[in-house]
Amino acid sequence: MSKGQQPAYPCPSNATPFGMTYRQHLVCQLAPVLAAQFFESSAWTDYDDLAGSLMMMADCIIEAEKETAQ
């Protein structure tokens, strides 16, 4: 898996010295949607399950974009 070190586009952050990575950007975009679903349904059993799903989604999006770019 990638370490997610490519810079975020179109909105890099000043939160870290080097800005936000693309993986962090995806997590920030997906987290509110998943949090809303977490409280409205029983799709996840606990926060650890939700966090694992969130990171897996971000990694899958990155991998799919790499495959599409080739």
What's the number of domains the chain is made of? 1
- Residue 60 within a domain: yes
Least confident range from 8-12, 57-61, 64-68: namely: 8-12
- Residue 4 within a domain: no
Cα 55 from Cα 57, distance rounded (Å): 5
Token pair 């926060």 in the structure block, residue: 47
Range of the domain at 48: 22-69
- Residue 29 within a domain: yes
In this predicted model, what pLDDT tens digit does every residue of 29-62 receive, in sequence order? 999 999 888 888 887 888 899 899 999 999 999 9
- Residue 65 within a domain: yes
- Residue 2 within a domain: no
Cα 49 from Cα 43, distance rounded (Å): 9
- Residue 6 within a domain: no
Taken in order 51, 54, 32, 5, the sign of the CA dihedral is: positive
